[in-house]
Structure 1
Amino acid sequence: MSLLNGPVKDTPIAFTAGMTSASSSWEGDILVFPHVITNKGHGYSSSSGKFTAPRDGTYVFTVTGVSSYSKFLCLDIVHDGLRKVRTYSSDSARYQTGTNLVVLELDRGDAVWVKRFMGQGYHTNSVPMTTFSGFIL
């Protein structure tokens, strides 16, 4: 199959995006990761924060959230509006990390993103600590 007819089955699809500036007061809906490290297949949008599957397949997604100073944060990986897994970063210490991973069957055009469930703020620095990644198996 050529690129003119659609995505080639063996074309790599993988992305990692992160935050490079912290926010102690963020209470938004979708967490948009503007710093793109890798975006093979161009499925991740740094303007919407959503990954859109370029083709059908089994995908792996992971999110890591670092809570802001002495605050808690819960983030969900969402597939087309349905929450699939959740992270929890405790407020019991200065900065805490929550992470989770999910394997999803996606159809071409399905969307996956990170959404806040509870809490506020996230921590990071110029080298991303709060990140969102995914790839096709």
Structure 2
Amino acid sequence: MMKGNNQNRQMSGSKRNFITKRLLSPPSSSPPPSQDFVAFYARMSVTEKVPSGHHILVFDNVVTNIGHGYNGVDGIFTAPKDGVYVFIWVIRLYEAQHSTQLMINNVEYGSTHLRAMNNDDGSVSGNVVAHVNKGDVVFVRVYPYSGYIGSGNIISNEHGKPSFSGWFLQ
């Protein structure tokens, strides 16, 4: 029995040393991203005040922009190469309701709707997987209302920020 406890102590010690060594090891130097890799992630840094239909949402706080396809000034991603891409967008509302669309060259590829009323706060996300050609533009906009009116602000604050991201799949 004593021998078993001693082995457990030794194993625990060796595991501990492995973990310590692992944590203290310098990060491996990884090669820079290849030119074939494209990815972006941007957040909305300020609340969008009562956006109207057709309004392109600008996610101005660009965190990642590998391939330099996303423009944080106009909110538009321009594909640097042909291929299949994944796009995800998240919208946050408080006491508001809005529909949004992910557009590729002015064609709707995805849409969301959120109604957060009566002191309610919520978020909604959408995702799209699509083939995009080099030079195609991708953006998120407020749905162009015809008879159905959105209302309120798209909220960005310390409790959550709307975001838009995408990456080249193949």
Question: What amino acid is aligned across from residue 125 of structure 2 in structure 1?
Answer: T
Alpha-carbon deviation of 1:66? 0.5
Pairing partner for 1:125 from 149, 157, 165: 157
Alpha-carbon deviation of 1:24? 4.0
Alpha-carbon deviation of 1:64? 0.4
Matches within 5 A, 1:1-137: 11-27=36-52, 29-67=55-93, 69-93=94-118, 94-117=120-143, 119-120=150-151, 121-126=153-158, 129-137=161-169
My pick for the range that moved more, 96-105 or 21-30, is: 21-30
**Corresponding residue number in structure 1 for 2:9:** none
Which structure has the larger Rg over C-alpha atoms?
Answer: 2
Question: What amino acid is aligned across from residue 133 of structure 1 in structure 2?
Answer: S
**Corresponding residue number in structure 2 for 1:3:** none
- Size of the aligned set, in residue pairs, is 129
Question: What amino acid is aligned across from residue 136 of structure 1 in structure 2?
Answer: F
* Cα pair 1:19 1:128 within 8 Å, conserved: no
Alpha-carbon deviation of 1:25? 2.2
Runs of 5+ unmatched residues, structure 2? 1-33
Question: What amino acid is aligned across from residue 85 of structure 1 in structure 2?
Answer: G
SS at match of 1:37: strand
Give the Cα separation in 1 of the matches to 2:69 and 2:124.
Answer: 24
Question: TM-score of the superposition, structure 1-length normalised?
Answer: 0.85
Distance 1:127 1:17, change over 3 A: farther
**RMSD after superposition:** 2.0
Alpha-carbon deviation of 1:20? 1.5
In terms of fraction of residues, the more helix-rich structure is 2
Structure of greater relative contact order (alpha carbons < 8 Å, 6+ residues apart): 1
Question: TM-score of the superposition, structure 2-length normalised?
Answer: 0.69
Q: Percent identity?
A: 31
Alpha-carbon deviation of 1:11? 2.8
Give the Cα separation in 2 of the matches to 1:18 and 1:99.
Answer: 13
